[in-house]
Amino acid sequence: MNKIFNVVMLLTCLFVTACSDNDEPDAITPIHFEKRDYTVMLGKGAVIYFTGGGGVYELTASNPEVLGKFGIEMEAPNHSLYIQPAKAGESYLTIKDVKAEATVTLHFTVEDFYLSFRVNEVDGTNTNEFFDVGREIRFIRNEDNTKPVKVIWYQNNTFRPMTVGEGIFNISRSDTNIFTMEFSLHHKSDEEFALYEYTMGGDGEYMTMFDHIFDFGWEKSIASSSSRSQPVKRIKMILTDKNNGCKITCQLEKN
């Protein structure tokens, strides 16, 4: 009988020990981000998700005037770093994971806000060497609202943008409510400008965006909201060359 009791007690002790081992908390995994370099748009900000982390962090920016407001949101299940930049520029952000005794440094580039259109159709004789199917036109809102514009091309279908041309743009309105977009563009390596003029057509909602972002001060009835319910990917702007009638159709991109 004693032998049976001893065997039962031994098995009980082994079971309790095994359960105790399984109940031990997992070791802390240091905070981890998928990459180290990020580009953030001024006025839009970013939310960057991460894995791991001990839950207690110390954040230090090398250029806090650029990064503005930043912090870590700990609500499960999506732990994230949020950035609300204050100005264009660059800054490093060092995150010390206190409990995991680890540190990670991220590099941020803050760009001015921009409206992005991609050229998806050219109908007629195109005399604009900067605009071609597949190229992206970025209408940039900077601090001084000087209305700079860049034409971007993603060479070989990669995610690395290449600047084809840059310059400034403006939109004028006639007494008969005809809107004309004017471009002064030049190659990045050449300061000689080429001038282009287009009348504007297409979906109405993009006019509201230009008015709101670049402070043109048009009457609200002019900036039509007829396409407000349409998905962003459907919004089109048609630029018609005032000289030869060539139509360049552009599609609003999601930034």
- pLDDT tens digits, one per residue of 91-149: 999 999 999 999 999 999 999 999 999 999 999 999 999 999 999 999 999 989 999 99
Residue 100 near residue 156, CB atoms below 8 Å: no
Smallest CA-to-CA distance from 41 within 106, 72, 80, 85 is with 85
**pLDDT, tens digit (0-9, with 9 covering 90-100), for 191-247:** 789 999 999 998 878 888 999 999 998 866 565 444 444 444 478 999 999 999 999
Instruction: Write down the pLDDT at residue 18.
Output: 46
Residue 160 near residue 173, CB atoms below 8 Å: no
The CA-CA-CA angle for residues 236, 45, 67, to 5°, reads: 140
Instruction: Write down the pLDDT at residue 26.
Output: 62
Helix boundaries (H) for 134-235: 205-214
pTM of the model: 0.74
Sign of CA dihedral 189, 190, 191, 197: negative
